[in-house]
Structure 1
Amino acid sequence: MKITSPVVGEMEVSADRVITFQAGLPGFEACRQFTLVHSADSDSPKLFVLQCLDDPQVAFTVTTPDVLGLNYEFGLTDTEVATLDLASADDASVLLIVSRNDASAPIHANVMAPLVVNTTTRRGLQKIIGKVDTSVTLKAVA
């Protein structure tokens, strides 16, 4: 599949790089197929672009919680496990959507709605968490 994104430019995405969010993402329910992209000049990237394949205008910057110094746990319902087709917790990867208003503003991570991706089946969902004990704001991510 070939797409042209204002964020990552023109790119070819093979079927084995597609992550499917069966219900889409809250506010972006029509966006169900995504791929993860990172800068080619980094062997161990800290930030990724979650690029929508259904609507190339939609892209989110994401990172893993450990990059932000976070180690938090949350449970998944039986329905969520089934949606992910998750056979082992080791196959689950957690991503956080990060944003900032402008280059001088702090980076904000959405810890209340992490993305969970089954790295084997490439199925994902956004887990809405009712409450966590902390809010994370960082001034810079190296």
Structure 2
Amino acid sequence: MKIKTLYYGEIEIKEESILTFESGVPGFQDEKRFTLIKLPENSTFQILQSIKTPELSFAITNPYIFYREYEFQLDEGTKEQLGIDHNEDVSVFCIVTLQETIEKSSLNLQAPVVSNMKNNKAKQIILNDKRYKTKHPLYQESEGKVHVSTNEKNR
């Protein structure tokens, strides 16, 4: 199927690559179907692109690349809604807020996108955890050096 995208114009996607957000995405309740577009120039980031609205897309990434200690528990209702039976079926992404430089960009650890990759059901959940904010620095400062975890664990 062909869709129009914000960054890449019209592209061909496979029906089985569509993620379904049963309740939409917070702030966009009518937007229920998205696809992931890999960036050819940077495998760390992807675009979560609406199938219906070309102008609606989000830069996302695997949060464990940047914060290997990131953790949260899914409630039973979310597990049931997404049909999650095994942890290895789950992928977690976080929305990136891009700034003029990548070093000034931030990551929303308070509202991860959780997806069951076996059935392509997804949901953005809001965590009630004071450790996580909507604007964590994408790159952590550590002794004057930029630190990026190489652990690409995806829960």
How far does residue 101 in structure 1 lie from its aligned partner after superposition? 3.5
How far does residue 141 in structure 1 lie from its aligned partner after superposition? 9.7
Structure 2 gap ranges (5+): 140-145, 149-155
CA contact (8 A) 1:31 1:52 kept: yes
How far does residue 75 in structure 1 lie from its aligned partner after superposition? 1.3
Distance 1:141 1:58 in 2: 31
Distance 1:7 1:41 in 2: 13
Distance 1:37 1:110 in 2: 19
CA contact (8 A) 2:110 2:132 kept: no
TM-score normalized by structure 1? 0.88
Identity of aligned residues (%): 28
Structure (1/2) with the larger strand percentage: 2
How far does residue 57 in structure 1 lie from its aligned partner after superposition? 1.1
Q: Deviations over 1:56-93 (max 9, x none)?
A: 21000000012213322211122101111111111001
Q: Which residue among 121, 125, 128 is the counterpart of 2:126?
A: 128
CA contact (8 A) 2:103 2:138 kept: no
CA contact (8 A) 1:65 1:71 kept: no
How far does residue 104 in structure 1 lie from its aligned partner after superposition? 6.9
Number of the residue aligned with 1:114: 112
Number of the residue aligned with 1:10: 10
The total of aligned residue pairs comes to 140
Number of the residue aligned with 1:137: 137
How far does residue 99 in structure 1 lie from its aligned partner after superposition? 0.9
TM-score normalized by structure 2? 0.81
How far does residue 51 in structure 1 lie from its aligned partner after superposition? 0.6
